[in-house]
Chains A and B, each alone.
Chain A
Amino acid sequence: MTMDPLFEMQDVEKHFGTVIALGGVNFSVSEGECHCLLGDNGAGKSTLIKTMSGVHAPTSGRLLMRGQEVRFEDPRQAISQGIATVYQDLAMIPLMSVSRNFFMGNEPIQRRFGFNLFDHERADKVTMDEMRKMGINLRGPHQAVGTLSGGERQTVAIARAVYFGAKVLILDEPTSALGVRQTANVLATVDRVRKNGIAVVFITHNVRHALAVGDRFTVLNRGKTLGTANKGEITPEELQDLMAGGQELVELESSLGGTV
């Protein structure tokens, strides 16, 4: 990758009291690139996401947006800089309609009789258009999100982030709870979004899903980034070993007959 990174993290550390959750993270993502961040449970993925999205401020290190250092006091500031995060379970509210979910926190306003009203007509129309672009057929904009499949919910959340101007899209394990077909749909969505010039940070512990869409791969282990590899430079086995910290998995794998 020769392009200048859109978003970059340099030597980022995050301590919680005496616990070092992140102990030196270097990571960057460019426009139109899908950078996969792999790590096992407890590797520090969640802390890293929250540091990127403005939930936590880093203890030390720098965050750069287009080469300029940025500091986020809260998630809203990160969003206003174009960094949007789609969380695994917390993307959507099942009881609310797709249209209400889509515009949650960004409701379109229409002024009538001196009141700022929620412009339902526009919200419904935009929702239906955006859903059609993403290949989701809704019964109507008032269909509750609860009736959508897990993959569709992730897709709606991604569409929402893109519609509201995300330049860096952070996806927190978007495929981990999904079936084969739904996973394929979400990966296709990621691919489509990337082609539109958005920088995608794809967080997962599934090597196969990462290899399917990733341009670069970074492995996170025990709060540190172990290095970054380009597509085609690394095999699934090598990635798997790096994630698990090498040694132990080799032993495990032999006992499981090489199926992990």
Chain B
Amino acid sequence: MSDSTQDERIKNISPLRQALVRPELGSIAGTIIVFLFFGFLAFDSGMFSPRGVLNWSTVSAQFMIIAVGACLLMIAGEFDLSVGSMIGFAGMMIAIFSVTLQWPVWTSICVTFVLCTALGALNGYIVIRTGLPSFIVTLAFLFILRGFTIFFPQLIERKTIIGGVSDAADGDWLASLFGGKVGEPVFVWLADLGLIDVFERGSRAGQPVVDGIPALILWAIGLVIFGHFVLTRTRFGNWIFASGGDAQAARYAGVPVNRVKILMFMFSAFCACVFATCQVMEFGSAGADRGLLKEFEAIIAVVIGGALLTGGYGSVIGAALGALIFGVVQQGLFFAGVESSLFRVFLGVLLLAAVILNTYIRRIITGEK
């Protein structure tokens, strides 16, 4: 670490203070607290049974997918408020392509991904070209995309929900990558061992109550690993930090700031599209109101995860834990039988606490008074 010629004015800092400047710390502590809390409050409610775990981990995974995109974009110094509308739009496009236009589902998914990342690039291009805050530009897209998401199905099918995607997706190789389940034999085996309950009645009698890990959860884990790897281990990751920390200084040092920011807008749109595809494959339909308020939930998860709203600092692992806290609390309150409207109160308090803590940490890092 250091050599013999120590500067006498450099005070030794406590390990706590040292740990505080790691962006994940708050969310690690938060995760432990949340699990302890519900461990006491809702242990008997089935929250920690295989089905319960599947329930809150699926919800958390949903948050995680969009939080990864929002996290990298926020570290690069920008926001995307159009994530929620993008989810609705992407889902609707898949349904229109596959059901109304009768395209193969894999084609529909691919075209939708291309379309959405192109829209993400357009978001980024407008922000870079005009120099306007991304807050305003993506707010415009929040309305534009939502408007189209309601307009198209009404124009084509005279309704706001398009169903029948499940039938179209049956046997489609790409659809199963988003809507399928993994590890069924393992779960059957676990049920045989008596570790997982089996259905006792009904059409699925004898099958395990949890029969596989949804692809959604694997997407979430995959995206978190990918995001964390890119951010901390690659040259591009350094550019993301630099672009958000001080775009002009980064430009002077030769960092292609515009390209970094536009790519992050595209990645944010990509994540929204992954979310939408998983959702459409799970529900078998696309609704015009899907993804409502998701942009804020993504941003909250990222902020709980220790990222600064002003950019240049944050962690994907932190954002993932923020999403986990989010999901566990939302479902945990349900298991504990607490009035669900209180979840919003909790969320607001948590957000405020996280932002205050982050500001304090920022002062420690930068030495501002």
Residues of chain A at the chain B interface (Cβ within 8 Å): 75-76, 79, 85, 87, 90-96, 100, 103-107, 109, 115-118, 120, 132, 137-140, 144, 146-147
Question: Please, which residues of chain A bring their CB within 8 A of the CB of B242?
Answer: 93, 96, 100, 104-105
> Looking at the complex, which one of B2, B13, B245 makes contact with A138 (CB distance below 8 Å)?
B2
Residues of chain B at the chain A interface (Cβ within 8 Å): 1-3, 5-7, 10, 13, 21, 233-235, 237-239, 241-242, 245-246, 248-255, 308, 312-313, 362, 365-368
- Which chain B residue has the least Cβ–Cβ distance from A90? B249
Bound Cα distance from A118 to B229, whole angstroms: 10
> Looking at the complex, which one of B10, B237, B365 makes contact with A146 (CB distance below 8 Å)?
B365
> Looking at the complex, which one of B5, B252, B313 makes contact with A87 (CB distance below 8 Å)?
B252
B241 pairs with A140, CB closer than 8 A: no
> Looking at the complex, which one of A104, A118, A146 makes contact with B250 (CB distance below 8 Å)?
A104
- Which chain A residue has the least Cβ–Cβ distance from B7? A137
Question: Please, which residues of chain A bring their CB within 8 A of the CB of B251?
Answer: 75
Question: Please, which residues of chain B bring their CB within 8 A of the CB of A92?
Answer: 249
A76 pairs with B2, CB closer than 8 A: no
B312 pairs with A106, CB closer than 8 A: no
| Closest CB in chain B relative to A8 CB, distance in Å | 23
The 5 closest A-B pairs by CB, nearest first: A146-B366, A93-B245, A105-B254, A105-B253, A107-B235
Bound Cα distance from A95 to B241, whole angstroms: 9
Q: Which among B10, B246, B252, B366 has the greatest number of chain A C-beta atoms within 10 A? A: B252
| Closest CB in chain B relative to A45 CB, distance in Å | 16
B249 pairs with A100, CB closer than 8 A: no
A116 pairs with B234, CB closer than 8 A: yes
Question: Please, which residues of chain A bring their CB within 8 A of the CB of B10?
Answer: 137, 139
Bound Cα distance from A138 to B10, whole angstroms: 9
Question: Please, which residues of chain B bring their CB within 8 A of the CB of A116?
Answer: 234-235
| Closest CB in chain A relative to B172 CB, distance in Å | 30
A90 pairs with B3, CB closer than 8 A: no
A100 pairs with B6, CB closer than 8 A: no
B254 pairs with A137, CB closer than 8 A: no
Question: Please, which residues of chain A bring their CB within 8 A of the CB of B3?
Answer: 132, 137
Q: List 20 A-B contacts (CB under 8 A).
A: A87-B249, A87-B252, A90-B246, A93-B246, A93-B249, A95-B241, A96-B312, A104-B242, A107-B235, A107-B238, A109-B235, A116-B235, A118-B235, A137-B3, A137-B6, A138-B2, A140-B2, A144-B21, A146-B366, A146-B368
- Which chain B residue has the least Cβ–Cβ distance from A147? B367
B255 pairs with A105, CB closer than 8 A: yes
Additional A-B contacts beyond A105-B239, A118-B234 (18; CB < 8 A)? A93-B245, A93-B246, A93-B249, A93-B312, A94-B365, A95-B313, A95-B366, A96-B245, A100-B241, A105-B242, A106-B253, A118-B237, A118-B238, A120-B233, A137-B7, A139-B10, A146-B365, A147-B366
Question: Please, which residues of chain B bring their CB within 8 A of the CB of A117?
Answer: 233-234
Question: Please, which residues of chain B bring their CB within 8 A of the CB of A90?
Answer: 246, 248-249, 252
> Looking at the complex, which one of A93, A132, A147 makes contact with B241 (CB distance below 8 Å)?
A93
Bound Cα distance from A100 to B7, whole angstroms: 22
- Which chain A residue has the least Cβ–Cβ distance from B362? A95
> Looking at the complex, which one of B13, B237, B249, B366 makes contact with A144 (CB distance below 8 Å)?
B366
Question: Please, which residues of chain B bring their CB within 8 A of the CB of A96?
Answer: 241-242, 245, 312
Q: Which among A132, A137, A140 has the greatest number of chain B C-beta atoms within 10 A? A: A137
Question: Please, which residues of chain A bring their CB within 8 A of the CB of B5?
Answer: 137
| Closest CB in chain A relative to B246 CB, distance in Å | 5
Question: Please, which residues of chain A bring their CB within 8 A of the CB of B1?
Answer: 139-140
